[in-house]
Structure 1
Amino acid sequence: MTKYLYCIIVALGILNTIDTNAQNKPQGARVKISGIVVEKSSGKPLESAIVSFINLKNNRTTAGAMTNEKGIYEVDVITGTYDVKFEFMSFKTQYIKNKTISNSENLEKIALQEDPSQLQEVIIRNDKTTVEIKLDKKIYNVGKDIMVKGGTVSDVLDNVPSVSVDVEGNVALRGNDNVKVLIDGRLSNAININDALKMIPADAIDKVEVITNPSARYDAEGGAGLINIILKKGKTKGLNGTLMANAGDPENYGINGTLNFKSENFNLFTNQGFAYRKTPGNAFFDSRYLNSDNSTRNYIYEKRDNLQKGNTYNGNFGAEWFLDKSTTWTNTFNYRKNSGNGDNFISYQNFDANRIYKFSNFRNNIEDNSGSNIEFTSNLLKKFKKDGHKLTVDFSASKNNDDISATIYNYQNNSSLSTLDTSKNKQRQNRNTIQADYVLPLQKQSQVEAGYRGNFTNLLTNYQVYNNGVLNNQFTNVLEYIENVNAVYGQFGTKVKKLSMLYGLRFEDSHIEVNQLTSQLYKTKKYNNFFPSATWAYEISDNTNVSLNYSKRINRPRGREINPFNSYSSNINIFQGNPDLNPSLTDAFDIGFLKKWDKLTLSTSLYYNTTKDVVQMIRRETGNFVITVVDGADVITNGVPVVINGGADVITPVMITTPINLAKEYRTGFEFTLNYSPYKWWKLNTNFNFFAINTSGSYAYTNYLNQTIAQNFDNKTNSWSSRVSSKISLPYKIDWQTNFTYNAPQTTAQGKILGIAALNLGFSKDVLKDKATIALNVNDVFNSRKRRMYNFVNGTLDSYQEMQFRVRQINLSFTYRFNKSKNDKDIKPKRDNEQENGGDIPG
């Protein structure tokens, strides 16, 4: 029985008692009684506590109420003398005895204390919906999702409504990859956020918040919005925890544990996880190389087989100290370490213009990687006497090291000649953050808020390439990236009858240094921006709301995007950053509608974003050619290709991909999310997103023949995506979950991305008197999650490519809970800091 069910039963009992004795109720005036119920150990409000008024004349309950999310209750009572009873599941019941009520009044604040004996006797099964839909955000509760058992944060995000993760691990929100990912309300300290998300175990996550139009309190980074990943922390009093072990195919092992001890004065918690994973993947490129008149020059079929193997340790230790009833100080130490290796084997089958096979050459890239991350965070929360009046101060410092070394063999099937290339990539990053937020409630349901945030990042990348032991100066470089962003904000929120309003303004001062130490190219960019935001929300009824939101956002180029030196993953398809990239600025508008019925919740949104200086990847020829000679070695020439061996050689132009600021992008979309529970044993969730993109811009460059090549990148495209999730509770405590996703085709400025469909299945069963759960899930049942696209560069290339980062995955997991029920109700109210406070408007 859940605590909510308990509260409902008690409330129904009260109502029944009141109704039964309606004819016997005392005569007198009806007055309004209100008050607040809080948790004694923290002084924070208790939601859904039961307040009963017991008439002393007949010892019967004649009135009652339930507290709201702020712990406040309000009830009409007929004048008289009562015992007022306050109760909440697993807390000691408290009374106000012989209370004479003659006028409307506020009763004294009641502080309830937890009763450990009740916690031991009651099994709490809180069947909390997997997806909570709110007016300003969506909250995805990870603990109920069978699909992600034994997986990573990337797997979790790929199951969140409105969010998608492509085969390369890139995260997008509503089809837009300009999204900022936060962990516990803070920017991730990882050098590569996509890699970091694959290392954190899914079982370490409590929930994920999706905020499509953040207020001025949040960083302005992320044109599409924010995704906030909230990690598990200890909540239940006493010593408790969980232990989960999993195994899977392809080879995948892991163990993860949480432990928590909470007392009156402090809360100690830790999360420890270790995993070993093999991730096989594959890709192929079927390319037709063109002459200047678009006639065929030759064909190359490129096939890649990837195998990534690695060990990951992820752990944290934290202490939450209740200095007094109004002050909490939390310190957390996080440590993550990973090591592994990868084998990337590439084969090139070469054909002439008539697609007659000539020969093959091969490239084997063997990679070793290791990394470590250390982070310390500290949070101080001070609450004042007035409800909602508070001050929070946060500090974090982190150090991140990533080392990648690669050995690359190149050889030909009909030649004894070969080359040996090696590369080393060392990255060192330091990041410090300090933040302060102050909230002051005003009269008449209004409040003001102000704060400061400073983000200071220093990243040093040392990249070296050797060809047959000789240093390659074309690729070898040292890049220093420094980013200092200071921000202040203020916002005012108020509620007038059914209309809530929030107005905010954020100012960010950015100082960016891109120091290419090898070539002595130094770029400094200083800019400051104002970021206004506004939200209007109107309550049509208790279950129906409409909202209008606006915010201004920014996307700053970083790391790989701005490094002018090339990467060396392929000798014919290379990537080069652009140090002249400017940030993109987005104006985001959103109209939302939320309606709740008994079994159905509907959330819809119509959105419009306009972005200036949008960044887009373009491909062009470099003027370099790889001349592959039959019975000979590769020769790289600069300029017009030469003929070797009587024309028996194969001439392949070297293509470069680079990011540029490309004029404007207009994005319009419509999204809806449905939560539907037709029966107690069946829950359905679906999300649909349609968007249209209009890009306008042109690009011109001078090629190796000193010719000016102009390209028009004006492009109009639309696409849609859908996700359906079904969870069915079968007999014998078995749960069955099915997730289906589909991303529709989409055209690009230089080609087309084809549609992707995928199906996931999961089963779980409670065992050992509900103290443990066994779960089996299959990720990508039909092995269909592949990125497929066509690419056309006029006069150079016409290609089709297919890429699969990870093949079908099967996981079996076992979770054991000690001194803790399957789904403990969070009796410790939320901390009102940034990461868990999405409701900015006073209500």
Structure 2
Amino acid sequence: MLFRMQLAMKRIYFLLSFGFLPFIVIKANTDNPPAYGIISGNVVDAGSKQPMQYVNVVVRNNSDSILTGGITDEKGHFSIREIPEGSNTVEIQFIGYEKIVKEVEVTRDQSSHNLSTINLSEAAQQLEEVEVRGELSTVTQKIDRRVINVGKDLTATGTSASELLNNVQSVSVDQQTGAISLRGNENVRILVDGRPTNVDPAQLLQQIPSSSIKSIELITNPSAKYNPEGMSGIINIILHKNSSNGFNGSVTGGITYGKNPRYNGALDLNYRRGIVNLFANYGGSSGTFEGGGRITREDNASISDFTNENIRQSHLVKTGADLYLNKANTLSVYTIQNFFRNKRMSGTMIYFEDILDSDHAGVNTTGDYTGTYNLNFKHDFLKEGHHIELEVSHSLTQEEEDARFVQSLDVSDPTSNYMDDILNDLTSSIVNLDYVNPLAEKGKLELGLEYRVDRTVNRQFTDRHQFLYDESGMKVPGVDGGFQTVPMGNTSFTYDRGIYSAYANYGHQFGKFSLQAGARVEQYDVDALFEDSEDAGEYKDSRMTVYPSAFVTYTP
């Protein structure tokens, strides 16, 4: 396979996902200690003594590798089970607060540990005639969202957006699968600079370096302005963009060290003179991670040993210009270029009664490129906050995956020794027209139109075979004593979607109460075509839907 980018930095990422099976004992390190420990406790604000929800609790072993974790519930309580025997470190952390670290020794005689009440204190910094900016993250609550301005304390928690978000209250990222949830619900929509992307959310968050993130918006009450995708809420990631007068620049870097180091860094530049502002930002991350484990099935005396090694590297560039035509009109253009590469090497050895029965090895290499191009024109009316905005955006994503799998005990088996090549091309074009008018001192009317066209083209090439079955569901015997197989064949899938939308939304504040209500109308057209070596199928759909929304917020 040929990839469309050449990258210089390396990163390894550990990804392991498997289902629970009956009579299975899972042991997650080379020593395979028993996992019967329980760690629990309650987290409160040291000042108000109020319970703190969604506080992150992380359990690490003595080599600083993450074993498991969780978050506190609405009462500030947490309980984490299946902690391996031995010395473990428990980290309780929440942005804007000092991190608490506890050492816990899990033994067979003392497997349950209650950490009682844990008081988290707000992080404070003493300043002595020096202005410090961006050191600590800050949180702003609005009627429909919570805005987190990312400081160095949050950037230092990880090299990717995925690791960073796992330290944000009410957000949880699965350490094994990368799945993200907001307030316990995985039906989340991810935006970058307010725009949707073509990339899978879990993969997207692993691609964006944490050093490129300026702020995060958790939109838990999305208004009719937003597409109804992501019913539990929207996470909007705002990337860096500087607009200060003159020439300005900054360089940041960081390292996160577990078993292997992981690095991130960023370069932020801008030049503004007169009516022109030019800006550029680069963020990159790389690192290494290795992992392994064992699954023991007591019902059939089998043992599965597995190893994983991932090498990952990510580069993101955002560059553009703002043209301030006059006090009322601004024209902006920018592009985001994202390059990502990951190489995963894995192996699984299965024993039955101490006899090696299977030895699988696989190498999976992926290379992704995403380019986003945006043009924005904004006109401000005389009244503050009264404006109309036109935005045109186009994005292109190219994904390539090259996989090779080998069963060393039987290299002639075509069902276990094969290659997969997958090519994905995704394009998206969006045109938005948004109008905002503050009708009263504490009221706001929003109107808008949106036109969106998406296309996905997926092509898969493989030399893998599958077993041939008879009418009774039994494998058909072969002439050599084995079973007959047939090629699975190549496939292609093309998916076209058009969405045409209009919305109206009104928000008003009445004392300590805030009301927001609106509706969104969407016309949705789909045309999909699937083809393989033997057949082809087409699917078409067209529908119109109305999505009403209403929210009431109380601020004490």
TM-score scaled by length of structure 2: 0.67
The match for 1:279 among 263, 281, 289 is 289
In the alignment, is the contact (CA less than 8 A) between 2:319 and 2:334 conserved in 1? yes
CA gap 1:447/1:125 in 2 versus in 1, 3 angstroms: closer
Q: Does 1:308 align with 2:322?
A: no
Which position in structure 2 is the counterpart of 1:262? 272
Q: Does 1:185 align with 2:201?
A: no
Report the Cα offset of residue 320 of structure 1: 1.1
State the alpha-carbon separation in 2 of the partners of residues 479 and 247 from structure 1: 41
State the alpha-carbon separation in 2 of the partners of residues 479 and 496 from structure 1: 52
Report the Cα offset of residue 273 of structure 1: 2.6
Q: State the secondary structure of the residue aligned to 2:198.
A: coil
Q: Does 1:523 align with 2:539?
A: yes
Q: Which amino acid aligns with 2:493?
A: L
Q: Does 1:477 align with 2:479?
A: no
State the alpha-carbon separation in 2 of the partners of residues 475 and 130 from structure 1: 53
Which position in structure 1 is the counterpart of 2:184? 175
Which position in structure 1 is the counterpart of 2:253? 245
Q: State the secondary structure of the residue aligned to 2:215.
A: strand
In the alignment, is the contact (CA less than 8 A) between 1:465 and 1:471 conserved in 2? no
Which position in structure 2 is the counterpart of 1:684? none
Q: How do residues 682-761 of structure 1 correspond to structure 2 at under 5 angstroms? A: none
CA gap 1:321/1:334 in 2 versus in 1, 3 angstroms: same
Could you give the per-residue CA deviations for residues 162-194 of structure 1, whole angstroms, max 9, x where no partner exists? 00000211110111100101111111232x221
Which position in structure 1 is the counterpart of 2:383? 386
Q: Which amino acid aligns with 2:546?
A: F
Report the Cα offset of residue 418 of structure 1: 6.0
Q: Does 1:231 align with 2:239?
A: yes
In the alignment, is the contact (CA less than 8 A) between 2:460 and 2:490 conserved in 1? yes
Report the Cα offset of residue 337 of structure 1: 1.6
Q: How do residues 592-607 of structure 1 correspond to structure 2 at under 5 angstroms? A: 594-595=555-556
Q: How do residues 33-48 of structure 1 correspond to structure 2 at under 5 angstroms? A: none
Q: How do residues 658-697 of structure 1 correspond to structure 2 at under 5 angstroms? A: none
Q: Which moved more, 1:480-489 or 1:512-521?
A: 512-521
Q: State the secondary structure of the residue aligned to 1:330.
A: strand
Which segments of 5 or more consecutive residues in structure 1 lack a partner in the other structure? 1-120, 289-295, 351-355, 538-545, 547-593, 596-843
Could you give the per-residue CA deviations for residues 637-678 of structure 1, whole angstroms, max 9, x where no partner exists? xxxxxxxxxxxxxxxxxxxxxxxxxxxxxxxxxxxxxxxxxx
Could you give the per-residue CA deviations for residues 14-56 of structure 1, whole angstroms, max 9, x where no partner exists? xxxxxxxxxxxxxxxxxxxxxxxxxxxxxxxxxxxxxxxxxxx
CA gap 1:416/1:219 in 2 versus in 1, 3 angstroms: closer
In the alignment, is the contact (CA less than 8 A) between 2:393 and 2:431 conserved in 1? yes
Could you give the per-residue CA deviations for residues 278-315 of structure 1, whole angstroms, max 9, x where no partner exists? 23244555457xxxxxxx6x454333322111332211
CA gap 1:131/1:386 in 2 versus in 1, 3 angstroms: closer
In the alignment, is the contact (CA less than 8 A) between 1:234 and 1:262 conserved in 2? no
The match for 1:433 among 430, 444, 447 is 430
Could you give the per-residue CA deviations for residues 231-254 of structure 1, whole angstroms, max 9, x where no partner exists? 111032221121123445424344
Q: State the secondary structure of the residue aligned to 2:325.
A: strand
CA gap 1:147/1:202 in 2 versus in 1, 3 angstroms: closer
State the alpha-carbon separation in 2 of the partners of residues 248 and 125 from structure 1: 22
The match for 1:501 among 501, 515, 531 is 515
Could you give the per-residue CA deviations for residues 363-405 of structure 1, whole angstroms, max 9, x where no partner exists? 1111222121111011111101122221011111111111111
The match for 1:366 among 363, 375, 389 is 363
CA gap 1:515/1:302 in 2 versus in 1, 3 angstroms: farther
The match for 1:163 among 168, 171, 184 is 171
Q: State the secondary structure of the residue aligned to 1:155.
A: helix
Q: State the secondary structure of the residue aligned to 1:318.
A: strand
In the alignment, is the contact (CA less than 8 A) between 2:430 and 2:450 conserved in 1? yes
CA gap 1:132/1:477 in 2 versus in 1, 3 angstroms: same
Q: State the secondary structure of the residue aligned to 1:156.
A: helix
Q: Which amino acid aligns with 1:175?
A: G
State the alpha-carbon separation in 2 of the partners of residues 157 and 240 from structure 1: 28
State the alpha-carbon separation in 2 of the partners of residues 500 and 253 from structure 1: 43
CA gap 1:417/1:528 in 2 versus in 1, 3 angstroms: same
State the alpha-carbon separation in 2 of the partners of residues 393 and 468 from structure 1: 52
Which position in structure 1 is the counterpart of 2:551? 535
Q: Which amino acid aligns with 1:531?
A: Y
Q: Which amino acid aligns with 2:250?
A: T
Could you give the per-residue CA deviations for residues 330-370 of structure 1, whole angstroms, max 9, x where no partner exists? 110111122342211122223xxxxx444321111112221
In the alignment, is the contact (CA less than 8 A) between 2:369 and 2:397 conserved in 1? yes
Q: Which amino acid aligns with 2:391?
A: D
Q: Which moved more, 1:252-261 or 1:313-322?
A: 252-261
CA gap 1:473/1:234 in 2 versus in 1, 3 angstroms: same
Which position in structure 1 is the counterpart of 2:456? 459
In the alignment, is the contact (CA less than 8 A) between 1:411 and 1:417 conserved in 2? no
Which position in structure 1 is the counterpart of 2:339? 337
Q: Which amino acid aligns with 1:213?
A: N
Report the Cα offset of residue 220 of structure 1: 1.0
In the alignment, is the contact (CA less than 8 A) between 1:331 and 1:378 conserved in 2? yes
Q: State the secondary structure of the residue aligned to 2:408.
A: strand
Q: How do residues 59-74 of structure 1 correspond to structure 2 at under 5 angstroms? A: none
In the alignment, is the contact (CA less than 8 A) between 2:137 and 2:153 conserved in 1? no
State the alpha-carbon separation in 1 of the partners of residues 346 and 135 from structure 2: 45
State the alpha-carbon separation in 1 of the partners of residues 277 and 422 from structure 2: 41
State the alpha-carbon separation in 2 of the partners of residues 268 and 196 from structure 1: 26
State the alpha-carbon separation in 2 of the partners of residues 442 and 174 from structure 1: 33
Report the Cα offset of residue 144 of structure 1: 3.8
In the alignment, is the contact (CA less than 8 A) between 2:158 and 2:164 conserved in 1? no
Q: Does 1:211 align with 2:219?
A: yes
Q: Which amino acid aligns with 2:520?
A: R
The match for 1:324 among 323, 326, 335 is 326
CA gap 1:126/1:515 in 2 versus in 1, 3 angstroms: closer
Q: Which amino acid aligns with 1:460?
A: V
Q: State the secondary structure of the residue aligned to 1:387.
A: coil
In the alignment, is the contact (CA less than 8 A) between 1:286 and 1:301 conserved in 2? yes
In the alignment, is the contact (CA less than 8 A) between 2:209 and 2:315 conserved in 1? no
State the alpha-carbon separation in 1 of the partners of residues 183 and 516 from structure 2: 24
Report the Cα offset of residue 123 of structure 1: 3.5
Report the Cα offset of residue 195 of structure 1: 1.4
Report the Cα offset of residue 431 of structure 1: 0.9
Could you give the per-residue CA deviations for residues 618-644 of structure 1, whole angstroms, max 9, x where no partner exists? xxxxxxxxxxxxxxxxxxxxxxxxxxx
Report the Cα offset of residue 135 of structure 1: 4.3
Which structure has the greater CA radius of gyration? Answer: 1
TM-score scaled by length of structure 1: 0.45
Which position in structure 2 is the counterpart of 1:402? 399
State the alpha-carbon separation in 2 of the partners of residues 341 and 278 from structure 1: 11
Could you give the per-residue CA deviations for residues 573-619 of structure 1, whole angstroms, max 9, x where no partner exists? xxxxxxxxxxxxxxxxxxxxx44xxxxxxxxxxxxxxxxxxxxxxxx
CA gap 1:325/1:416 in 2 versus in 1, 3 angstroms: closer
State the alpha-carbon separation in 2 of the partners of residues 287 and 488 from structure 1: 56
State the alpha-carbon separation in 2 of the partners of residues 494 and 160 from structure 1: 28
In the alignment, is the contact (CA less than 8 A) between 2:305 and 2:350 conserved in 1? yes
Q: Which amino acid aligns with 2:507?
A: G
Report the Cα offset of residue 515 of structure 1: 1.8
Which segments of 5 or more consecutive residues in structure 2 lack a partner in the other structure? 1-128, 467-483
Report the Cα offset of residue 230 of structure 1: 0.8
Q: State the secondary structure of the residue aligned to 1:161.
A: coil
